[in-house]
Each structure stands twice: as structure tokens, then as C-alpha cells.
A and B are shown apart, each in its own frame.
Chain A
Amino acid sequence: MSKPHSLAISKLSGGYGDVTVIRDVSLTVEPGKIVFVTGRNGVGKTTLIKLIAGQLAAQSGNILFGERDMRAEPPHARRAIGIGYAPQESVVFDDLSVRENLTLQYRDRDLARYEALFASFPRLRERRAQRAGTLSGGEKKILSFCRAVAEDTQLVMLDEPTEGVQPENIERMATHVATEAGKGRGFLIVEQNLGFAERLADHAHVLDHGACIFETPGGADLRARLAERLAL
């Protein structure tokens, strides 16, 4: 990894076609920081992540990664520049084996880069020859999580990584995120699991109707602070 970059989005708006879902959202993810975005269903959290990943085109605003404007870059280029992304839905290639899912982007197809992750999630190693479509929803999420975390990107974006995942595996995910952040990687995580957010967040944003309505630093009572806002 070269010199660390911050992700800085400012006054970002966008959505599907002419429909604007996200309005004037600004946030920053500095190297080594873990930033959470939370909010009720359908408020635009996934849309925000897709705009940053390049899966959707922004209507206005800026997406800066380091000095570089990402808005003109196609999604595969954003990944190459250093923005990794694990989506909320359709998280794996169902027709491919677990192994192919983990290695198709690498010329060497080496599973060695997953050693630490396999140690935490041994089921994945056991099932590497199996078709990914046969995994349970939670296992697919773990596969997708491992794929994104093992990439050499400076920023990792995870969209609801814990959805359907068993509590002990959520705990293991948290450990890996904390370790990677300790190495200087930034994380932007969309999550409804407030316990997961409280455990990891350096900073959290609450989204409602496509706008950022509240932001707060992390800390011991983060869950309570977020829950209070979400109940409004």
C-alpha cells in the first residue's frame, strides 16, 4: 500500500436515474478510522455506498480519494485505486465455487492471502470446492467480507456485513476490522447492528430521507445515542 489516502465526500447527491435518493451528504474517512452509517430501512444507506463505489452515478457533489476525483472513474478502476466494496445483496457469484469467488481477481489465484481469515472462519476453507450458491445467507456474507478485507485496498466499504451472520462470527468480523484499521486502512460500514457499531466506530452518521441528520464520535454509549436518534 502506498501513502494513505482519506476519502472525502462533500455535498454528494445521486440516486437511480432521475430519482434523487441521497441529498448533499458529506463525510470523511481518514486512514485507520472506522466510520459507520446507520439509519432505518430505505433511507438511502446502500445508495450512498453505491455512489462511492461507482455502481451508481452521482448527480452532484464530490468524491475525493486522496487528491483524486473518483466521479469519473468506473467501478473497477475505483477498486484498483483503493476503494474496496462488499455489497448488501447478491454478495457472491452463486455459479462459481467458493475458491473461485475468493481468487478470480488475482492472477496467482493464491488462497494464502486468506490464511488469517480462514483461521477465524474455518467453514469457508472447508467449503472452498463447493458452489457459493449453496452457502447460507450468513455464510455468503462471511465470504464477501473475507474477499473485501483480504484485498489490498486502503479503504473498505461494507454494506450490512453482519446481516444473517451468527453472533460469534460477528465478533470475529469485528476483530478483523479492528486489526486492519490498526494497519492504517479506513472502513466505511453501513450497519443496523448498533452493538457492532459501538464496538468499532470512531465516528457514526445517521441517515434519514437521504440526508445526514446526526453525527457523533464513537464511544461507550454510542448505541444509546444512535438508538435515541433512530427512535425519533
Chain B
Amino acid sequence: MELVALQGLNFVYISLTLALVALGLAVVFGLLGVMNMAHGEFVMLGAYSVLVVQNAGLPLLAALPLALAVCAAVGWLLEYFVIRHLYRRPFDTLLATWGLAILMREIVEAVFGRDYKSVNQSLPGTVEVFGAVYPAYRVVLMALMVAFFAGLFLWYRRSNTGARIKAMVSNPALATAVGVNTAVLARGAFIFGVCMAGLAGVALAPLVRVEPYMGIDYLLSSFFILVVGGLGSLVGLLVGSTVIGGSDAIVSAITSKTGGYMTVLVISILFLWLRPNGIVARD
């Protein structure tokens, strides 16, 4: 029972985190049409924020504001100097962001070194959930993520900014005609997207090896999640994360890591083939 509860908690934690990474990509790719190959590198920046905070002897939750600040700053630079000149030129964006991803990895490698870092596992403070002893830090993060998704869902449906984003996506010319500054809105959406990746990096840091090349896996997983879940809805995102995160975890546990990858790949190919709009198609 304890083991099941522990596995269950880990599974929920991973799914939520993956959903957060994919949320960022869904905004940047799904709404703006920008193929950001450096998306995973923002996960990496988030994970390194945890390392920096830990080395400085600060409480781990301090990594959240640090990751947000770093990702927002880097995201702004990227959008301002590169991305905004390349909207509606997907292949150029892909090449440019791929180059930037390499640059970001190299810079982090130069500063922190090539080797794997790990964030201290024996965190102070645990709570008991359904009989399983679980780090309090992760429980707090899970609660934050659930609250965040719920809040975001309501905000996007009800707020004026949500309506403006939908307006910009469906009819950009008319959006500018009614006075929406689409350039600023798109920049905001891009920065929001990469910040989500950064937050996910913070959540992932205690579970995985932190190294400069860690981002690529998350870029791929996010694409698979969007393929399975479908673009354009938060429900699809959560369903996609559960399917991808779940099948990877289960198959990896039974066979090997490679088996997990294979399963995810096969599921994604089947979806692209049989149901290209994903489980929850955009209405």
C-alpha cells in the first residue's frame, strides 16, 4: 500500500511537471506558431536555479523566483533580438532557436561544468500521504501546480487578456485593428511559455540528474504530449501528460528506459497517423 501510494505520488508529480513543460510549448508553438528548439534549455535553466539556491544555502523554494527571473530575462532577450523578426518563418525560427539552444548549453557548461549535478535528496521536512512518507517540498510544489493550472484555466476563459490572446491567434489583422498591440502580447506569451519550462525545471531538479544537456528529453516529451493531447486546451495537455508520463513510467519500470522511450514513440506515431488532432481537438 505504501509503495503504491509512493509510486502514485511520483506519477502525479511527474505528470504535472511534464504538463508544465508542455504548457510552455503549447503556448509558444500552439498559439504563436514558434518552433522553439531551445524550450528544453529553459527547463535546464530552472533546474540549475535549484542548484544555485542550494549551493547558496537558501531554502529550495527560493529557486522559484530565481528561475522565473532568469527565464524571463533570457526569454525577453531571445524574443526581442531573434524570435520577433522570424514570426511566420517557422523553418528559420527552428534553425535560430536550435543554435541558441547550443549556445545556452555551452554557456551553462562553461560556468557549472559538464558533470552531472544532483540536488540534495534528503530534504528536511516530510509529510505522510496515504501512508507514504513524502518530501514536504514536493507536496507543496504539487499543490502549487494544481492551483496554478486551475487558476490559469479560469483566467484564460474569463479574462480580457485571454480573449485578446484568442483574438490575436484567430485573426491577427483584426486584433490590431481593434487596438490590440499584438507585438507586446506575443512577447508576453513567449516569455510566459519559457517561464513555465523554467518552473518545471525547478520541480524536476530533485528527481533527475542536472546537467547541461538535460533539456533535449523534455523538448521531445513535450512534443509527444502535444501530439497525444492535442493543441489548444488545458484538458488535452493534462491528458497528454498523463498518457506520455504514465506509459513511460510503467514500461520503464517493467522493462528498461529504452523500452519506455520506444513505447512513447510508438504511441506518438500512432496518434500522428490515426488521430492527428490529438485526444482533445481544438474546437
Contact = CB atoms under 8 A, between A and B. Distances in A.
Contacts of B183: 74
B266 to A, nearest CB: 34
A76 B174 contact: no
Interface stretch (A27-35, A103-111, A184-192, A207-215): A103-111
Contact of A79 (B163, B167, B179, B283): B179
Interface residues of A, number: 27
Interface string A89-114: 01111111000100111110100000
28 contacts: A55-B177, A74-B176, A75-B177, A76-B176, A76-B179, A76-B180, A76-B181, A76-B182, A79-B177, A79-B178, A87-B173, A90-B173, A90-B174, A91-B174, A92-B171, A93-B166, A93-B171, A94-B170, A94-B171, A96-B163, A96-B167, A100-B167, A103-B163, A104-B163, A104-B178, A104-B180, A105-B179, A147-B178
Interface of B: 160, 163-164, 166-167, 170-171, 173-183, 283
Contacts of B283: 95
A91 B176 CA distance: 12
A86 B179 CA distance: 12
Contacts of B160: 103-104, 106-107, 109
B174 A100 contact: no
A138 B155 CA distance: 32
Nearest to A91: B174
A101 to B, nearest CB: 8
Interface in A144-172: 147, 151
Q: Which 7 A-B pairs have the closest CB atoms?
A: A75-B176, A79-B179, A104-B163, A100-B163, A85-B177, A93-B167, A105-B178
Nearest to B177: A85
A100 B158 CA distance: 10
Contact of B177 (A87, A95, A100, A109): A87
B126 to A, nearest CB: 46
Given A90-B171, A95-B283, 8 more contacts: A74-B181, A75-B177, A76-B176, A76-B182, A93-B175, A104-B167, A104-B178, A106-B160
B170 A95 contact: yes
Contacts of B163: 96, 100, 103-104
B179 A80 contact: yes
Interface in A109-155: 109, 147, 151
A197 interface: no
Nearest to B282: A95
Interface SS, A side: loop
A86 B178 CA distance: 9
A111 to B, nearest CB: 13
A53 interface: yes
Q: Which of A75, A100, A106 has the most CB of B within 10 A?
A: A75
Q: Which of B176, B181, B183, B283 has the most CB of A within 10 A?
A: B176
Given A107-B160, A109-B160, A55 B179 contact: no
Nearest to B185: A76
Interface string A60-97: 00000000000000111001100001110011111110
Contact of A95 (B166, B178, B179): B166
B158 to A, nearest CB: 10
A105 B180 contact: yes
A94 B282 CA distance: 13
Contacts of A106: 160
A96 B283 CA distance: 11
Contacts of A109: 160
Nearest to B169: A95
Given A90-B171, A91-B174, A104-B160, A96 B179 contact: no
B174 A87 contact: yes
A96 B176 CA distance: 16
Contacts of A90: 171, 173-174
B177 A53 contact: yes
A93 B174 contact: yes
A108 B283 CA distance: 28
Nearest to A95: B170
Nearest to A97: B163
Contacts of A79: 176-179
B188 to A, nearest CB: 14
Contacts of B166: 93, 95-96
Contacts of A91: 174
Nearest to A131: B283
Contacts of A80: 179
